[in-house]
Each structure stands twice: as structure tokens, then as C-alpha cells.
Amino acid sequence: MSKVNPIQAIKANIQCQCGTVKGSIDSPSALRFVCYSKDCRGYYNALNALAKNAGKPEAAALDPFGGCDFTQVYPCEITIREGQDQLEKRLIRKNSPIPRTYAKCCFTPLFSTGGTGAALLNSNLLSAWDQHCEVKYRIIGRHALKGDGSIPKPSMSWSVPFGWFFAMPKRCQPDKAQPSPVEVKDIKELKLLEGFVEGK
């Protein structure tokens, strides 16, 4: 099956790895990208370490080059129907503007939100989307891992591409920040994620 436009409508159910947290995404304009930053990789590595310590399987999947696959939507397009009590909100460092939400039952990364009105959903929650929608951007390639040589390294921008700076401001819409799938009354009161260090 051929790949489709990287900006498209999507309507699908989502759930954490163990199935405790269930919800849905209904977006008329979602965009998929992969981020190779040390921050994103460190976040996923920390969740996998927490899962391992709890005797649970790895829940935060990275691509072979250490990239985190995200789908950019809006907070109002994400609905959590079950397992709201399992939504854990954390910051990766003090004064970070981005609350990151994962399922504390199995440490599956779910989404991150911020004051811009954009939300970044873990694309691995959307298997059909992952298979049939091409990646629009691969950003911060300077932090990517070398890989083991078994597959070719995809084209990545060294930093954040010019097209990203042109496209993303249009996709940050504060009026779509509510209703949000999680409530953050005061971001300064959020705890830091245990075990976070920048990805190597």
C-alpha cells in the first residue's frame, strides 16, 4: 500500500500497552514526525527503566536510530475514556514548559502538551497510522544514534528544518488546548521524572 499525505485526518482508538488506559483520537489534520533529540530519547529511556524496575515489558519504543515517533494533534482531539487515574504527568527538568503524560500502570508514553495548544501523541499508539502515513519531518538528526547497519539510515535534518519553522506556528492553536485530556493546574507543581538523563 502506498504512503498517504503526512497531514491527514485520523480517527482511531488508543490504549496503553497493558490496556488499562483507553481513549481515542479524532483529528482532521494530524502530522507525523520523528524527533531524535536527547531530551525525547532520555524521556523514553527513563520510562523503560521504570518499567524494567517494576518487572514490566519495555513500553517506550524508539526507532533504530534512537528517534521518538510523534503525531502532532491538539489536546481537544484526544479523549481518555478509561484509566484517568493512571495518567501521570511529569517534567523532565525544572522549569520545562512541556508536561509529559504517561500511563503509570505500564509506563507507556501517551502524549505531551504545552501552552501553545499543540499536543504530541506517541505514534506507536496508532498502528494503522504508523503503517500508512509517511513521516513529514525527521528533526534534530545530530543527536541520532548510528544504528547497527542492518537498515539504511533515513534522511534527517541536522537541527530543525526550515519547513518546520514555517509549518508549526500555524499548527499551534491555543484555542484548541481545551478540553484537555489531562488537567495541569500549575505546571510548576509537577514533579520531575525519576531517572531522567539526556539520551546518549
Instruction: Tell which wins on pLDDT, 68 or 113.
Output: 68
Over the chain, what is the mean pLDDT?
Answer: 90
Q: What is the mean pLDDT of residues 166-184?
A: 84
Q: Is 118 or 144 the better-scoring residue by pLDDT?
A: 144
pLDDT score, position 131? 52
pLDDT for the residue numbered 25:
92
Q: What is the pLDDT of residue 7?
A: 74
The pLDDT of residue 128 is 57
Residue 120's beta-bridge partner residues?
72, 112
Q: What is the average per-residue pLDDT within 135-159? A: 94
For residue 193, how many other CB atoms are within 10 A of its CB?
20
pTM above 0.85, yes or no: yes
Average pLDDT over residues 105-122: 91
Q: Cα 62 from chain centroid?
A: 11
More confident residue, 116 or 41: 41
What domains can be seen in the chain, in order of their start residue? 7-189 (2.170.150.70)
For 16, the grid coordinates are 496503553
Half-sphere exposure of 105 (CA within 13 A, CB side): 15
Report the pLDDT value the prediction gives residue 2, as an integer from 0 to 100: 44
Q: What percent of the chain has pLDDT over 90?
A: 66
Q: Could you read off the pLDDT of 47-57 as tens digits, one per residue? A: 999 999 999 99
Contacts of 53 (CB under 8 A, 6+ apart): none
Count the Cβ atoms, other than its own, within 10 Å of residue 90.
Answer: 20
Q: What is the mean pLDDT of residues 130-146?
A: 85
Mean pLDDT of 152-163: 91
What value does the CA radius of gyration of the chain take, rounded to a whole number of Å?
16
pLDDT at 126 over 90: no
Give mean pLDDT, residues 134-162: 93
